[in-house]
Chain A
């Protein structure tokens, strides 16, 4: 089979990753325009760097790492505080934020979205990168300069907190149903 030209290869990478990368940047910068600008700059960079990067196996790792770094730089320049540096010691169980909170949203997804945004910042950073980029634990660890064990713990913690949250929604939905019946 014919090998793609560099330009074609670049176009394929662009088509496959543009949307997830913009969504990823959006989780940091909260502005669609800024997200697109950041991602487009990253693509210009890889085009300028040429063959070695475009044909590399780790292109996805490179793209997500670059978008994360540039998003954090953008926030720093805008005077907003990005995620605090994560150290390996920082894996102490934090108390569950959600217990006893009254949740009105009945839409599970809207509620889950809300729950993800209220995860502790470091935990959220690791969890979101994992879900959007589909990178391996090792790649996420290298990308964020943390240990693989920390990635494992943070993702486990995120899952556990989100699960507790999902249960509390269920609980409150049941309560509302009981309230209706009693009424």
Chain B
């Protein structure tokens, strides 16, 4: 069935998360009227998402552009007009971060030569002095020297990062985390440090994963493998869930996945607490989800879940609850 322009307008508004309750009801009715309409809707959704990616797929050199802007800003003199208290605030914060993370390798480089940063948004990219590219998850703290030692490239990380390490055989690349020491023997991998466990996922190359205080105790991981270190115990496995890297790729994909699992992933990705009401829990084994989110805001993702399951969504005490209306 060919949707008329009216439905196309509503789909547009819905995809932009601007449809009124009335329009959403109208869309729902249209979707339920004929399975063909659901396919039609999926085609619209695909056009919408693909257009996004197509129209922003060219990568410009942000680093170089920032250098240019930064030079112009500093020669225009404005930066020096900053209030004194702001400067003091900035200095205090830097000191706090130094105190928290740099203990490990300050001896090696000296405090002045270390760069500290805390990622302010997901997938913040940092290029290290050797050309290694690091993608950081929001809140992750990274410390590294302004120039690397010739014998070793040592950095420290708390949080979650994806590393594409520049090849340099003479100087091994090592990451110090609160629990472990990770040594890179080849190219790209994820590191996730949580309170009591460290997790490494290797995309390509080889990585040595060692207990921090006993480096003899280590394992070697290759592409497609993942391991966690908890206490003194390593647990190895193969990578099965691409959604683990969603904070970096921005893509969440569910194929015939149980609703509970979808809800867990969404909670983690959007940093919210989504739960199923008891009566939904009882039947959730019958609710399997097929959906793909590409850089979608939470509200849109929830709206999709709502449309495909027929469940209702309400917010209560910082929790988002899926219930049967």
Contact at A131–B62, with CB atoms within 8 Å? no
Contact at B50–A159, with CB atoms within 8 Å? no
B interface: dominant SS: helix
- Please indicate the chain A residues that have their CB under 8 angstroms from the CB of B3 in the complex: 160
Contact at B47–A18, with CB atoms within 8 Å? no
A interface: dominant SS: helix
B56 CB within 8 Å of chain A: yes
A2 to B120, CA, bound (A): 12
- Please indicate the chain A residues that have their CB under 8 angstroms from the CB of B76 in the complex: 47-48
What is the distance, in angstroms, from A30's C-beta to the closest C-beta of chain B?
12
Contact at B124–A152, with CB atoms within 8 Å? no
- Please indicate the chain B residues that have their CB under 8 angstroms from the CB of A157 in the complex: 5, 8
Residues of B in contact (CB 8 Å), total 48
With contact pairs A152-B12, A159-B8, A166-B43 given, residues A7 and B79 touching in the complex (Cβ less than 8 Å): yes
What is the distance, in angstroms, from A6's C-beta to the closest C-beta of chain B?
7
Contact at B18–A137, with CB atoms within 8 Å? yes
Stretch at the interface among A20-28, A56-64, A70-78: A20-28
Contact at B11–A159, with CB atoms within 8 Å? yes
Give the number of residue pairs across the A-B interface with Cβ within 8 Å.
Answer: 133
- Please indicate the chain A residues that have their CB under 8 angstroms from the CB of B89 in the complex: 2-3, 5
- Within the complex, which residue of B9, B46, B55, B62 is in contact with A27, where a contact is CB–CB below 8 Å? B55
What is the distance, in angstroms, from A172's C-beta to the closest C-beta of chain B?
16
Q: Which of A15, A109, A131 has the most CB of B within 10 A?
A: A131
B121 CB within 8 Å of chain A: yes
What is the distance, in angstroms, from A108's C-beta to the closest C-beta of chain B?
7
Contact at A112–B9, with CB atoms within 8 Å? no
Contact at A44–B78, with CB atoms within 8 Å? no
Q: Which of A94-143 contact B (CB under 8 A)?
A: 108-109, 112-113, 116, 127-128, 130-132, 136-137
Contact at A18–B65, with CB atoms within 8 Å? yes
B82 CB within 8 Å of chain A: yes
A65 CB within 8 Å of chain B: no
Closest B residue to A12 by CB, please name it: B120
- B residues contacting A by CB (< 8 A) are 3, 5-6, 8-13, 16, 18, 40, 43-44, 46-48, 50-60, 62, 65-66, 68-69, 72-73, 76, 78-79, 82, 86-87, 89-90, 92-93, 120-121, 124
- A residues contacting B by CB (< 8 A) are 2-3, 5-8, 11-12, 14-16, 18-20, 22-24, 26-27, 32, 35-36, 39-40, 43-44, 47-48, 50, 93, 108-109, 112-113, 116, 127-128, 130-132, 136-137, 152-153, 155-160, 162-163, 166
Further 7 A-B residue pairs, CB within 8 A, beyond A109-B54, A132-B52: A6-B82, A22-B60, A36-B65, A44-B72, A153-B5, A155-B16, A158-B12
